[in-house]
Chain A
Amino acid sequence: MKVRVVYRGQVKELHFEGERVRVMDVLKVMGLSKEYAFVVRGEEILEEREFLRDGEELRVVNAISGGRGYF
Protein backbone atom coordinates (compact mmCIF):
# COMPACT_ATOMS: atom_id res chain seq x y z
CA MET A 1 0.00 0.00 0.00
CA LYS A 2 1.02 3.60 -0.31
CA VAL A 3 0.40 6.85 1.52
CA ARG A 4 1.14 10.44 0.70
CA VAL A 5 3.00 12.36 3.33
CA VAL A 6 3.30 16.12 3.67
CA TYR A 7 6.58 16.81 5.40
CA ARG A 8 8.11 20.24 5.98
CA GLY A 9 6.26 21.72 3.05
CA GLN A 10 7.03 18.87 0.65
CA VAL A 11 4.95 15.92 -0.50
CA LYS A 12 6.44 12.42 -0.45
CA GLU A 13 4.91 9.15 -1.50
CA LEU A 14 5.70 6.17 0.73
CA HIS A 15 5.28 2.56 -0.39
CA PHE A 16 4.88 -0.35 2.01
CA GLU A 17 4.69 -4.10 1.61
CA GLY A 18 1.37 -5.50 2.76
CA GLU A 19 -1.70 -3.71 4.03
CA ARG A 20 -1.22 -3.59 7.77
CA VAL A 21 0.89 -0.52 8.17
CA ARG A 22 0.98 1.47 11.36
CA VAL A 23 1.79 5.09 12.15
CA MET A 24 5.08 4.02 13.73
CA ASP A 25 6.13 2.40 10.45
CA VAL A 26 5.84 5.78 8.75
CA LEU A 27 8.05 7.39 11.38
CA LYS A 28 10.48 4.52 11.08
CA VAL A 29 10.97 4.73 7.31
CA MET A 30 11.38 8.48 7.62
CA GLY A 31 14.07 7.98 10.26
CA LEU A 32 12.09 9.85 12.92
CA SER A 33 11.27 9.03 16.52
CA LYS A 34 8.00 9.51 18.37
CA GLU A 35 10.03 11.45 20.91
CA TYR A 36 10.10 14.43 18.60
CA ALA A 37 7.72 13.68 15.73
CA PHE A 38 4.04 12.94 15.23
CA VAL A 39 1.65 12.05 12.45
CA VAL A 40 -1.54 13.93 11.67
CA ARG A 41 -4.64 12.94 9.68
CA GLY A 42 -6.68 16.06 9.00
CA GLU A 43 -7.12 17.63 12.42
CA GLU A 44 -6.37 14.47 14.34
CA ILE A 45 -3.06 13.42 15.91
CA LEU A 46 -2.64 9.69 15.34
CA GLU A 47 -1.39 7.21 17.89
CA GLU A 48 1.72 5.23 17.02
CA ARG A 49 -0.14 1.93 16.85
CA GLU A 50 -2.97 3.08 14.61
CA PHE A 51 -3.31 1.55 11.12
CA LEU A 52 -3.12 3.62 7.98
CA ARG A 53 -5.61 3.65 5.11
CA ASP A 54 -4.33 2.86 1.65
CA GLY A 55 -3.82 5.98 -0.45
CA GLU A 56 -4.53 8.45 2.32
CA GLU A 57 -2.71 11.72 2.87
CA LEU A 58 -0.99 12.38 6.17
CA ARG A 59 1.09 15.16 7.62
CA VAL A 60 4.25 14.38 9.55
CA VAL A 61 5.42 16.98 12.01
CA ASN A 62 9.06 16.82 13.05
CA ALA A 63 9.57 19.05 16.06
CA ILE A 64 13.34 18.85 16.12
CA SER A 65 15.14 21.85 14.78
CA GLY A 66 18.77 22.69 14.78
CA GLY A 67 20.96 25.65 14.34
CA ARG A 68 18.75 28.42 15.50
CA GLY A 69 22.09 29.95 16.43
CA TYR A 70 21.10 29.59 20.05
CA PHE A 71 18.65 32.35 19.46
Chain B
Amino acid sequence: MKKCYKCGLKGVVYLPQYRIAFCKEHYLEWYSRRVEETIKEFHMFTRESRVLVAVSGGKDSLSLWDVLYRLGYKADGLYIDLGIGEYSERSRIVCERFAQTRGLELHVLSLGEAIATIPEIKRLEKRPPCSFCGQLKRYYMNRFAKEKGYSILATGHNLDDESATLFSNLLAWNMDYLARQFPLLPEGKGFVRRVKPLFKLSEKENALYAFLGGIEYVEEECPFAEGASSIGYKKVLSQLEEESPGTKLRFYMDFLRRLHPLLKAQEVELRHCSICGEPTTGEVCSLCRLRERLSSKTLSSSPSS
Protein backbone atom coordinates (compact mmCIF):
# COMPACT_ATOMS: atom_id res chain seq x y z
CA MET B 1 0.00 0.00 0.00
CA LYS B 2 1.18 3.47 -0.87
CA LYS B 3 1.79 6.02 1.85
CA CYS B 4 -0.88 8.51 2.87
CA TYR B 5 -0.97 11.33 0.34
CA LYS B 6 -1.41 13.82 3.16
CA CYS B 7 0.87 12.78 6.01
CA GLY B 8 3.15 10.04 4.66
CA LEU B 9 2.04 7.42 7.20
CA LYS B 10 1.01 3.95 6.08
CA GLY B 11 -2.06 4.17 3.89
CA VAL B 12 -5.10 2.04 4.73
CA VAL B 13 -7.29 2.99 1.79
CA TYR B 14 -6.28 3.23 -1.87
CA LEU B 15 -8.44 5.12 -4.35
CA PRO B 16 -7.57 3.85 -7.85
CA GLN B 17 -9.31 6.60 -9.84
CA TYR B 18 -7.26 9.29 -8.09
CA ARG B 19 -4.20 7.05 -7.69
CA ILE B 20 -3.80 8.09 -4.06
CA ALA B 21 -3.81 6.40 -0.68
CA PHE B 22 -4.90 7.76 2.69
CA CYS B 23 -4.44 6.86 6.34
CA LYS B 24 -7.66 6.54 8.34
CA GLU B 25 -7.68 10.12 9.58
CA HIS B 26 -7.03 11.65 6.19
CA TYR B 27 -9.49 9.40 4.41
CA LEU B 28 -12.25 10.62 6.70
CA GLU B 29 -11.10 14.18 6.07
CA TRP B 30 -11.00 13.67 2.29
CA TYR B 31 -14.52 12.21 2.34
CA SER B 32 -16.00 15.11 4.34
CA ARG B 33 -14.33 17.63 2.10
CA ARG B 34 -15.73 15.90 -0.97
CA VAL B 35 -19.26 16.07 0.47
CA GLU B 36 -18.85 19.70 1.48
CA GLU B 37 -17.54 20.66 -1.97
CA THR B 38 -20.49 18.92 -3.63
CA ILE B 39 -22.98 20.74 -1.38
CA LYS B 40 -21.38 24.08 -2.28
CA GLU B 41 -20.89 23.36 -5.98
CA PHE B 42 -24.58 22.62 -6.49
CA HIS B 43 -25.83 25.19 -3.94
CA MET B 44 -27.67 22.43 -2.14
CA PHE B 45 -28.05 24.13 1.26
CA THR B 46 -26.22 26.21 3.84
CA ARG B 47 -25.51 25.86 7.55
CA GLU B 48 -28.70 27.84 8.21
CA SER B 49 -30.95 25.42 6.31
CA ARG B 50 -33.07 22.85 8.13
CA VAL B 51 -32.17 19.57 6.47
CA LEU B 52 -34.06 16.31 6.81
CA VAL B 53 -31.94 13.25 6.02
CA ALA B 54 -33.82 10.16 4.92
CA VAL B 55 -32.12 7.29 6.74
CA SER B 56 -32.61 3.60 6.08
CA GLY B 57 -30.03 2.17 8.48
CA GLY B 58 -27.67 1.40 5.59
CA LYS B 59 -24.15 2.72 5.11
CA ASP B 60 -24.94 5.50 2.65
CA SER B 61 -27.65 7.35 4.51
CA LEU B 62 -25.95 7.00 7.90
CA SER B 63 -22.60 8.15 6.48
CA LEU B 64 -24.41 11.14 5.02
CA TRP B 65 -26.06 12.02 8.30
CA ASP B 66 -22.78 11.55 10.16
CA VAL B 67 -20.79 13.76 7.83
CA LEU B 68 -23.43 16.51 7.82
CA TYR B 69 -23.44 16.47 11.60
CA ARG B 70 -19.63 16.65 11.76
CA LEU B 71 -19.55 19.48 9.22
CA GLY B 72 -21.92 21.48 11.41
CA TYR B 73 -25.08 21.35 9.32
CA LYS B 74 -28.51 21.32 10.97
CA ALA B 75 -29.63 17.87 9.96
CA ASP B 76 -32.32 15.69 11.54
CA GLY B 77 -33.16 12.17 10.45
CA LEU B 78 -36.32 10.52 9.18
CA TYR B 79 -36.65 6.76 9.32
CA ILE B 80 -39.62 5.28 7.48
CA ASP B 81 -40.53 1.97 9.04
CA LEU B 82 -41.64 -0.16 6.10
CA GLY B 83 -42.89 -2.98 8.30
CA ILE B 84 -40.70 -5.62 6.65
CA GLY B 85 -40.43 -7.86 9.71
CA GLU B 86 -37.13 -8.26 11.46
CA TYR B 87 -35.26 -6.32 8.78
CA SER B 88 -37.19 -3.12 9.42
CA GLU B 89 -37.03 -3.67 13.16
CA ARG B 90 -33.25 -3.97 13.15
CA SER B 91 -32.82 -1.03 10.80
CA ARG B 92 -34.91 1.17 13.08
CA ILE B 93 -32.87 0.19 16.14
CA VAL B 94 -29.61 0.97 14.30
CA CYS B 95 -30.91 4.42 13.32
CA GLU B 96 -32.15 5.12 16.84
CA ARG B 97 -28.82 4.14 18.34
CA PHE B 98 -26.97 6.28 15.79
CA ALA B 99 -29.08 9.32 16.70
CA GLN B 100 -28.85 8.70 20.42
CA THR B 101 -25.05 8.43 20.58
CA ARG B 102 -24.69 11.72 18.67
CA GLY B 103 -27.55 13.55 20.36
CA LEU B 104 -29.40 13.97 17.07
CA GLU B 105 -33.12 14.05 16.44
CA LEU B 106 -34.63 11.10 14.61
CA HIS B 107 -38.23 11.02 13.44
CA VAL B 108 -39.83 7.64 12.86
CA LEU B 109 -42.77 7.30 10.49
CA SER B 110 -44.55 3.98 10.46
CA LEU B 111 -45.80 3.07 6.99
CA GLY B 112 -48.12 0.50 8.57
CA GLU B 113 -49.86 3.25 10.54
CA ALA B 114 -49.82 5.74 7.66
CA ILE B 115 -51.21 3.39 5.01
CA ALA B 116 -50.08 -0.26 5.14
CA THR B 117 -46.80 -2.18 5.44
CA ILE B 118 -44.81 -3.15 2.35
CA PRO B 119 -45.69 -6.88 2.72
CA GLU B 120 -49.39 -5.94 2.96
CA ILE B 121 -49.20 -3.77 -0.15
CA LYS B 122 -47.19 -6.41 -1.97
CA ARG B 123 -50.18 -8.76 -1.87
CA LEU B 124 -52.18 -6.23 -3.86
CA GLU B 125 -49.58 -4.78 -6.22
CA LYS B 126 -48.34 -6.31 -9.44
CA ARG B 127 -45.35 -3.96 -9.73
CA PRO B 128 -41.99 -5.01 -8.22
CA PRO B 129 -41.77 -4.02 -4.54
CA CYS B 130 -38.82 -1.61 -5.09
CA SER B 131 -40.95 0.38 -7.47
CA PHE B 132 -43.96 1.04 -5.23
CA CYS B 133 -41.79 1.17 -2.12
CA GLY B 134 -39.74 4.00 -3.65
CA GLN B 135 -42.88 5.85 -4.59
CA LEU B 136 -44.35 5.55 -1.10
CA LYS B 137 -41.12 6.71 0.51
CA ARG B 138 -40.89 9.75 -1.76
CA TYR B 139 -44.49 10.68 -0.97
CA TYR B 140 -44.12 10.43 2.80
CA MET B 141 -40.64 12.00 2.95
CA ASN B 142 -41.90 15.04 1.08
CA ARG B 143 -45.08 15.32 3.04
CA PHE B 144 -43.32 14.86 6.36
CA ALA B 145 -40.64 17.45 5.51
CA LYS B 146 -43.29 20.02 4.63
CA GLU B 147 -45.36 19.35 7.74
CA LYS B 148 -42.34 19.72 10.04
CA GLY B 149 -40.92 22.76 8.29
CA TYR B 150 -37.81 21.26 6.68
CA SER B 151 -36.87 23.00 3.45
CA ILE B 152 -34.38 20.38 2.27
CA LEU B 153 -34.66 16.64 1.91
CA ALA B 154 -31.31 14.86 1.59
CA THR B 155 -30.91 11.26 0.48
CA GLY B 156 -27.88 8.97 0.45
CA HIS B 157 -27.83 8.18 -3.28
CA ASN B 158 -24.26 7.41 -4.26
CA LEU B 159 -22.30 7.36 -7.51
CA ASP B 160 -23.17 3.71 -8.16
CA ASP B 161 -26.89 4.39 -7.71
CA GLU B 162 -26.78 7.41 -9.97
CA SER B 163 -24.63 5.91 -12.70
CA ALA B 164 -26.70 2.69 -12.72
CA THR B 165 -29.87 4.76 -13.06
CA LEU B 166 -28.28 6.81 -15.82
CA PHE B 167 -27.21 3.64 -17.60
CA SER B 168 -30.68 2.14 -17.46
CA ASN B 169 -32.34 5.40 -18.54
CA LEU B 170 -29.96 5.59 -21.50
CA LEU B 171 -30.61 2.00 -22.51
CA ALA B 172 -34.29 2.84 -22.72
CA TRP B 173 -33.69 6.37 -24.07
CA ASN B 174 -35.99 7.55 -21.39
CA MET B 175 -35.64 11.24 -22.19
CA ASP B 176 -37.99 12.47 -19.53
CA TYR B 177 -36.25 10.56 -16.74
CA LEU B 178 -32.88 11.71 -18.06
CA ALA B 179 -34.02 15.31 -17.91
CA ARG B 180 -35.04 14.85 -14.29
CA GLN B 181 -31.83 13.14 -13.23
CA PHE B 182 -29.86 15.76 -11.33
CA PRO B 183 -28.25 15.98 -7.86
CA LEU B 184 -30.62 18.79 -6.93
CA LEU B 185 -34.33 18.94 -7.67
CA PRO B 186 -35.64 22.41 -6.88
CA GLU B 187 -38.52 23.11 -4.50
CA GLY B 188 -41.92 24.25 -5.69
CA LYS B 189 -45.29 22.93 -6.81
CA GLY B 190 -45.75 21.15 -3.50
CA PHE B 191 -42.26 19.65 -3.30
CA VAL B 192 -39.42 20.52 -0.94
CA ARG B 193 -35.92 20.71 -2.42
CA ARG B 194 -34.34 17.27 -2.83
CA VAL B 195 -30.57 16.83 -2.83
CA LYS B 196 -28.04 14.00 -3.18
CA PRO B 197 -24.79 15.18 -1.53
CA LEU B 198 -23.08 11.77 -1.91
CA PHE B 199 -23.55 11.42 -5.66
CA LYS B 200 -19.81 11.70 -6.37
CA LEU B 201 -18.88 9.02 -3.84
CA SER B 202 -18.99 5.35 -4.73
CA GLU B 203 -20.63 2.67 -2.62
CA LYS B 204 -17.24 1.41 -1.60
CA GLU B 205 -16.10 4.88 -0.57
CA ASN B 206 -19.21 5.17 1.59
CA ALA B 207 -18.71 1.73 3.10
CA LEU B 208 -15.10 2.65 3.87
CA TYR B 209 -16.21 5.88 5.54
CA ALA B 210 -18.74 3.97 7.64
CA PHE B 211 -16.20 1.30 8.55
CA LEU B 212 -13.34 3.66 9.42
CA GLY B 213 -15.67 6.13 11.11
CA GLY B 214 -17.04 3.39 13.37
CA ILE B 215 -20.60 3.76 12.14
CA GLU B 216 -22.76 0.76 12.91
CA TYR B 217 -25.06 0.04 9.97
CA VAL B 218 -27.27 -2.73 8.61
CA GLU B 219 -25.37 -4.77 6.02
CA GLU B 220 -28.17 -7.14 5.13
CA GLU B 221 -30.16 -6.38 2.04
CA CYS B 222 -33.87 -5.78 2.12
CA PRO B 223 -35.43 -9.26 1.57
CA PHE B 224 -37.53 -7.84 -1.28
CA ALA B 225 -34.52 -6.37 -3.11
CA GLU B 226 -33.33 -9.81 -4.31
CA GLY B 227 -32.55 -9.66 -7.97
CA ALA B 228 -33.25 -5.94 -8.32
CA SER B 229 -32.15 -4.94 -11.82
CA SER B 230 -30.03 -2.08 -10.51
CA ILE B 231 -27.55 -4.62 -9.08
CA GLY B 232 -26.90 -5.99 -12.57
CA TYR B 233 -26.15 -2.53 -13.95
CA LYS B 234 -23.90 -1.79 -10.99
CA LYS B 235 -21.88 -4.93 -11.64
CA VAL B 236 -21.46 -4.11 -15.33
CA LEU B 237 -20.27 -0.62 -14.48
CA SER B 238 -17.90 -1.93 -11.84
CA GLN B 239 -16.27 -4.17 -14.44
CA LEU B 240 -15.64 -1.15 -16.64
CA GLU B 241 -14.37 0.72 -13.59
CA GLU B 242 -11.92 -2.05 -12.80
CA GLU B 243 -10.46 -1.87 -16.30
CA SER B 244 -10.43 1.88 -16.38
CA PRO B 245 -10.62 3.57 -12.96
CA GLY B 246 -12.68 6.75 -12.95
CA THR B 247 -15.15 5.56 -15.61
CA LYS B 248 -18.26 5.86 -13.45
CA LEU B 249 -17.49 9.35 -12.25
CA ARG B 250 -16.63 10.53 -15.78
CA PHE B 251 -19.75 8.88 -17.20
CA TYR B 252 -21.96 10.68 -14.72
CA MET B 253 -20.19 14.04 -14.59
CA ASP B 254 -20.02 14.27 -18.38
CA PHE B 255 -23.71 13.51 -18.54
CA LEU B 256 -24.38 16.43 -16.18
CA ARG B 257 -22.03 18.71 -18.11
CA ARG B 258 -22.76 17.79 -21.71
CA LEU B 259 -26.12 16.14 -22.12
CA HIS B 260 -28.24 17.35 -19.23
CA PRO B 261 -28.21 21.04 -20.27
CA LEU B 262 -29.72 20.05 -23.64
CA LEU B 263 -32.62 18.16 -22.13
CA LYS B 264 -35.96 19.58 -21.21
CA ALA B 265 -38.29 17.82 -18.85
CA GLN B 266 -41.79 17.59 -20.16
CA GLU B 267 -43.92 20.27 -18.55
CA VAL B 268 -46.54 18.47 -16.57
CA GLU B 269 -49.52 20.24 -15.14
CA LEU B 270 -49.55 19.52 -11.42
CA ARG B 271 -52.51 20.07 -9.15
CA HIS B 272 -53.44 19.18 -5.61
CA CYS B 273 -54.85 15.74 -4.96
CA SER B 274 -58.51 16.18 -4.08
CA ILE B 275 -58.12 13.82 -1.10
CA CYS B 276 -54.71 14.50 0.48
CA GLY B 277 -53.66 17.77 -1.18
CA GLU B 278 -50.28 16.49 -2.36
CA PRO B 279 -49.09 17.30 -5.89
CA THR B 280 -50.39 14.99 -8.62
CA THR B 281 -51.11 14.98 -12.34
CA GLY B 282 -54.60 13.53 -11.98
CA GLU B 283 -57.59 14.28 -9.83
CA VAL B 284 -56.59 11.83 -7.09
CA CYS B 285 -52.90 10.97 -6.44
CA SER B 286 -51.62 7.44 -6.93
CA LEU B 287 -51.13 7.00 -3.20
CA CYS B 288 -54.73 7.83 -2.40
CA ARG B 289 -55.84 5.46 -5.16
CA LEU B 290 -53.72 2.73 -3.58
CA ARG B 291 -55.29 3.51 -0.23
CA GLU B 292 -58.75 3.09 -1.75
CA ARG B 293 -57.80 -0.26 -3.26
CA LEU B 294 -56.38 -1.37 0.08
CA SER B 295 -59.53 -0.50 1.97
CA SER B 296 -61.85 -2.13 -0.58
CA LYS B 297 -59.69 -5.26 -0.39
CA THR B 298 -60.00 -5.37 3.40
CA LEU B 299 -63.75 -4.81 3.17
CA SER B 300 -64.30 -7.52 0.58
CA SER B 301 -62.09 -10.03 2.35
CA SER B 302 -63.31 -9.36 5.88
CA PRO B 303 -66.41 -11.62 5.86
CA SER B 304 -64.35 -14.72 5.17
CA SER B 305 -61.65 -13.95 7.73
Contacts and interface: CB of A to CB of B under 8 A. Distances in A.
A33 B212 CA distance: 20
Most chain B CB within a 10 A radius of its CB, from A36, A44, A62, A65:
A65
Nearest to A31: B235
Which range contains the number of B residues in contact with the other chain? 35 or more
B228 A35 contact: no
A63 B239 contact: no
Given A36-B238, A69-B134, A70-B165, A63 B228 contact: no
B211 A33 contact: no
Most chain B CB within a 10 A radius of its CB, from A8, A35, A37:
A35
Nearest to B59: A63
**What's the dominant secondary structure at chain B's contact region?**
helix
Nearest to B232: A66
Interface of B: 1, 12-14, 54, 56, 58-61, 129-131, 133-135, 137, 155-157, 160-161, 165, 202-204, 206-208, 211-212, 219-222, 224-231, 234-235, 238-239, 241-242
Given A33-B242, A63-B203, 19 more contacts: A8-B221, A33-B239, A38-B204, A45-B208, A45-B212, A47-B14, A65-B203, A65-B221, A66-B228, A68-B58, A68-B134, A68-B222, A69-B137, A70-B134, A70-B161, A71-B54, A71-B134, A71-B137, A71-B156
24 contacts: A8-B219, A9-B219, A36-B234, A45-B208, A45-B211, A47-B1, A47-B14, A61-B211, A63-B207, A64-B160, A65-B225, A66-B130, A66-B230, A66-B234, A67-B129, A67-B130, A67-B222, A67-B224, A68-B56, A69-B137, A71-B56, A71-B155, A71-B156, A71-B157
